Amino acid sequence: MPLMVRQDSSPAAMGREPIPEELRGARILLEGLIREGTDTIFGYPGGAVLHIYDELARMRSRLRHILVRHEQGAVHMAEGYSKATGKVGVVLVTSGPGATNTVTGIANAYMDSTPLVLITGQVPRKMIGTDAFQEVDTIGITRPCTKYNYMVRDVRELAAIVHEAFHLARTGRPGPVLIDIPKDVTAETAPFMPCDELRLPGYRPSHRADERQLERALEKIRAAKRPVLYVGGGIIHSAASEELVRLAEILHFPVTPTLMGLGCFPAAHPLCLGMLGMHGAYWANMAVAQADLLLSIGVRFDDRVTGALDKFARDAEIIHIDVDNSSLSKNVFAHNAILGDARTVINQMLDLLNAEARKLPADRLDPWWRQIETWKTQAPLSYGESIDAIKPQHLCKELDRLTAGEAIIATDVGQHQMWLAQYYGFRRPRQSLTSGGLGTMGYGFPAALGAQLAYPDRQVIAFVGDGGFQMTAQELATAVQYGTNIKVIVMNNNSLGMVRQWQQIFYDRNYSHVDMEWQPDFVKLAQAYGATGLRARHPAELSTVLEQGLSTPGVVVMDIIVEVEENVFPMVPPGGGIADMVLG
Amino acid sequence: MRHTLSIIVENHYGELARIVGLFSARGYNIESLTVAETLDPSISCVTLVTAGDDRTIEQIVKQVDKLVRVLHVADLTGSAHLERELVLINVTTGSSAALQTVLSLVAQDHLRVAEVMNDGLIIEATGEWKHINTLVEALRPLGIRHIVRTGTVAVSKSPDDKVVKLSVAHLQQHRTPPNPAVPKTEDGEKEIHL
């Protein structure tokens, strides 16, 4: 139904202009979501959102609602949807437990700068503060893990708040924004006036970098003899991958992406060193440790990247470009801290460099590249092959081969995540969906499902451990209900592998509660949900099972039994510097 | 080192909680905090005294500035500004020596007697926090029964005051919300949301 919009509310104009329709708050909310480009909502109904669901039922043709099995799943799906598409993910849940169940996902999205808008129901205004049924202080609980949150106290504010929430979620450093709506507000009516105005005088995301600062940085960049380009999730958020490749090629700089940056620079590109950090490539870490210039773009010097701060890139001039001012010089002092949007700033740099690109002969860095090659030969990524047990690294390589590095893959946190990062060659941005900052078990499967729902025809894989999968496995029902083709690969070592690895190395093999002494049969579990279940135990079966699983239509769970006592190497031990790697 | 921050923030629900929550979540110290409206009642000024080395203070300023409804943060320490704190002290004046102490402090213009009671006085004083500290130490031997300090407020000496500018600009630009405003409270008083 077309909505009539009033342009001018002055009494004189009333005669000429159409009068805006009076709509319920619930409908104003949903019209607002649609105006912001929402096509899919991940949600779960309940008492406080009954009016909203009442409206949703009438809007099936305009808004797809995915009924999840747990609200945490809804948020992770919205994250996966957002990470894969670049759009804002939308979640709708009820008050109380509905809201508290979303907190892990919200915190995860906040750490990884994923734009989300979450709608939570709240008890009616008059009951707020009375410890009413399913009442919780959602605003208070989510304040530290949202970019911003709103309580809607008047239905006439709703349209403006929805517009602002989307703006906040997707601009600057993106993040989750929550809107808490008391039930009676969704029942009240108001004239629906679509809102395009923002009332955010204190919110000014920066775009362009200061030219003089950039000139100073470029002087250092031109003079560098041992440079490294250290890039992360900010490149993906600002869609700067093409520009980054151009910049790296002009400068002939080695590039190392963070975990969140995987795919922002093609893994197979000759300038790509692979991931740096705790389980990064040895030569990438060595290069950073000995660099004389670190050109850092869209990264935040996370502790899993830097290791001991006093040993991190000690001799390097640090140039840090980021859209979030509070990330500049937070962990590592930046000699040149440049505030700005990654893509805009890289383009500014390209403009300044283009005129003199020829003055930067690639061979000026030959000694540095030779040094990097030496490190690479000294300690290549390696693992011991086995004829009895499937090596998890081999599983990742097989997956890369069979999907030609083209799949969208989501992971949880832990060993499987690190092996995939090491052995899967992500080609493009938005292919790797992983829980980086918060390190959330149970993220991978629902996140992959969100991506699959956004791209029904693409190969989307949830690559998870047996521990993490059991945290959100109930979303198999969602996956089957919506007829998806998602493939779940359970890297099953029957234990909490990364914790086991740390107990082995740093706690003298005092294994404490890391063995899964009872597990479900994941093949039967898949079948119970109406999905296909497959299993591989021996290296000889692996390729066949993967090939069969990836090509079987519908939801498929592949239970891949891997070597238990396998560790992720190389590794920077806790407290160690980035170059103090244990190689294996 | 002690730093006095002046934080200009839109007067919305929960914004003070957001500032305070940021400090506790990130382990920053709050030595004192005052908040009240500015020329524009829709904008509040928070004076917050904290401590830390230069890098910590830089982070604090950046983190506070990142808050969506914060319009401006200034670290007044290091620039020309004036600080004041008000203290109310309920002291016993049992002995004549005690009375003498109080009267001499009054004579030196360090404090004012706000109220005289049977067995004591309520003393009022304003000054910089160091001055208040000294005064409290001087009165401590008399027997302080109650003491309440407001915490520091501070104002810049700059002729070009950001607070005034911001509140005037904000008043002009954002006085009329795009959608019908939230109704005023019944008695017509403006709402204080912080």
- Distance (Å, rounded) from C-alpha A371 to C-alpha B55? 35
Query: What tens digit of pLDDT does each residue of A530-549 get?
Result: 999 999 999 999 999 999 99
Chain A nearest-CA distance from B61, in A, is 9
Give residue A358's pLDDT band: very low, low, confident or very high (50, 70, 90). Answer: low
pLDDT at B165: 66
- Which CATH number is B81-149 given? 3.30.70.1150
- Domains B2-79 and B81-149 alike in fold: yes
The answer to whether A249 touches A265, Cβ cutoff 8 Å, is no
Contact (CB<8Å) B67/A325: no
Task: Give the CB-side neighbour count of residue A222, counting CA atoms within 13 A.
Answer: 16
In this prediction the ipTM stands at 0.90
Interface check for A204 against chain B (CB to CB < 8 A): the answer is: no
CB-nearest partner of A139 from B14, B179, B180? B14
Backbone angles phi, psi at B193, to 5 degrees: -90, -25
pLDDT at B101: 83
| Domain ranges within chain B, ordered by starting residue | 2-79, 81-149
Candidate ranges A196-210, A354-368, A566-580; pick with highest mean pLDDT = A566-580
pLDDT at B179: 39
In chain A, residues with a C-beta closer than 8 Å to the C-beta of B183 are: 154
Does the pLDDT at position B174 exceed 90? no
Least confident of A3-12, A41-50, A161-170, A558-567: A3-12
Does the pLDDT at position B181 exceed 60? no
Catalytic residue among A59, A134, A474, A516: A134
Give residue A44's pLDDT band: very low, low, confident or very high (50, 70, 90). Answer: very high
**B31: exposed, middle or buried (Cβ count in 10 Å: 0-12, 13-18, 19+):** middle
Interface check for A328 against chain B (CB to CB < 8 A): the answer is: yes
Catalytic residue among A71, A135, A317, A475: A71
Query: What tens digit of pLDDT does each residue of B28-63 get?
Result: 999 999 999 999 999 999 999 999 999 999 999 999
Give residue B173's pLDDT band: very low, low, confident or very high (50, 70, 90). Answer: low
pLDDT at B94: 77
Residue B117 three-state SS: coil
Q: Tokens representing A151?
A: 């309580």
- CA-nearest of A377, A289, A296, A372 to A330 is A296
Give residue B171's pLDDT band: very low, low, confident or very high (50, 70, 90). Answer: low
Give residue B160's pLDDT band: very low, low, confident or very high (50, 70, 90). Answer: confident
Does the pLDDT at position A9 exceed 60? no
Query: What tens digit of pLDDT does each residue of B67-100 get?
Result: 999 999 999 998 999 999 999 999 988 778 888 8
Interface check for A397 against chain B (CB to CB < 8 A): the answer is: no
Contact (CB<8Å) A199/B69: no
Kindly report whether the peptide bond that precedes residue A570 is cis, defined as omega within 30 degrees of 0: yes
The answer to whether A263 touches A322, Cβ cutoff 8 Å, is no
pLDDT at A169: 98
Give residue B159's pLDDT band: very low, low, confident or very high (50, 70, 90). Answer: confident
pLDDT at B183: 40
Query: What tens digit of pLDDT does each residue of A89-122 get?
Result: 999 999 999 999 999 999 999 999 999 999 999 9
The answer to whether A562 touches A390, Cβ cutoff 8 Å, is yes
Q: From the candidates B9, B12, B66, which should be mutated to test the interface with A, based on the most A CB atoms within 10 A?
A: B66
Least confident of A138-152, A278-292, B138-152: B138-152
Chain A residue nearest residue B12, CA to CA? A150
Chain A nearest-CA distance from B120, in A, is 42
CB-nearest partner of A195 from B22, B174, B179? B179
Domains of chain A (ranges; CATH) run: 11-191 (3.40.50.970), 211-378 (3.40.50.1220), 392-561 (3.40.50.970)
CB-nearest partner of B71 from A154, A202, A333? A202
In chain B, residues with a C-beta closer than 8 Å to the C-beta of A29 are: none
Does the pLDDT at position A391 exceed 50? yes
To the query of whether residue A183 is one of the catalytic residues in this protein, the response is: yes
Q: How many CB atoms lie within 10 A of CB A571?
A: 20
Interface check for A61 against chain B (CB to CB < 8 A): the answer is: no
Contact (CB<8Å) A201/B173: yes
pLDDT at B170: 58
To the query of whether residue A445 is one of the catalytic residues in this protein, the response is: no
Q: Tokens representing A161?
A: 């708040």
Give residue B162's pLDDT band: very low, low, confident or very high (50, 70, 90). Answer: low
pLDDT at B167: 59
Chain A nearest-CA distance from B151, in A, is 26
For chain A, the residue count is 584
Q: Tokens representing A265?
A: 């620079």
Does the pLDDT at position A335 exceed 50? yes
In chain B, residues with a C-beta closer than 8 Å to the C-beta of A330 are: 59, 62
Chain B nearest-CA distance from A536, in A, is 46
Give residue B175's pLDDT band: very low, low, confident or very high (50, 70, 90). Answer: very low
Catalytic residue among A441, A491, A498, A581: A498
- Distance (Å, rounded) from C-alpha A64 to C-alpha B73? 43
Give residue A320's pLDDT band: very low, low, confident or very high (50, 70, 90). Answer: very high
Chain A residue nearest residue B171, CA to CA? A201
The answer to whether A164 touches A152, Cβ cutoff 8 Å, is no
Give Dmax over CA atoms of chain A in angstroms: 85
pLDDT at B147: 96
To the query of whether residue A127 is one of the catalytic residues in this protein, the response is: no
Q: What's the whole-number mean pLDDT along residues A197-201?
A: 91
Hey, which residues does B164 pair with through a beta bridge? none
Tokens 């108001």, located at residue: A190
Q: What's the whole-number mean pLDDT along residues A352-374?
A: 88
Does the pLDDT at position B177 exceed 50? no
Least confident of A17-31, A118-132, A164-178, A441-455: A17-31
CB-nearest partner of A193 from B55, B59, B179? B179
Interface check for A147 against chain B (CB to CB < 8 A): the answer is: yes
The answer to whether B48 touches B33, Cβ cutoff 8 Å, is yes
pLDDT at A5: 44
Does the pLDDT at position A384 exceed 90? yes
Fold designation for B2-79: Alpha-Beta Plaits (3.30.70)
Does the pLDDT at position A495 exceed 70? yes
Chain B residue nearest residue A8, CA to CA? B178
Query: What tens digit of pLDDT does each residue of A406-453 get?
Result: 999 999 999 999 999 999 999 999 999 999 999 999 999 999 999 999
Does the pLDDT at position B184 exceed 80? no
Least confident of A162-171, B57-66, B104-113: B104-113
Q: What share of chain A has pLDDT > 70, as a percent?
A: 96
Contact (CB<8Å) B68/A203: yes
In chain A, residues with a C-beta closer than 8 Å to the C-beta of B17 are: 140, 143
Chain B nearest-CA distance from A499, in A, is 27
Does the pLDDT at position A472 exceed 80? yes
In chain A, residues with a C-beta closer than 8 Å to the C-beta of B25 are: 144
Interface check for A84 against chain B (CB to CB < 8 A): the answer is: no
Does the pLDDT at position B185 exceed 60? no
Give residue B163's pLDDT band: very low, low, confident or very high (50, 70, 90). Answer: low
Does the pLDDT at position A148 exceed 80? yes
Q: What's the whole-number mean pLDDT along residues A215-236?
A: 97
Q: Contacts by B52-58 with C-beta closer than 8 Å and gap 24+?
A: B52/B1, B52/B3, B52/B28, B53/B1, B54/B1, B55/A329, B55/A333, B56/B28, B57/B1, B57/B3, B58/A329
Contact (CB<8Å) A201/B170: yes
Chain A residue nearest residue B18, CA to CA? A143
Does the pLDDT at position A392 exceed 90? yes
- Distance (Å, rounded) from C-alpha B74 to C-alpha B6? 5
Chain A residue nearest residue B64, CA to CA? A326
- Distance (Å, rounded) from C-alpha A17 to C-alpha A31? 21
pLDDT at A13: 47
pLDDT at A530: 98
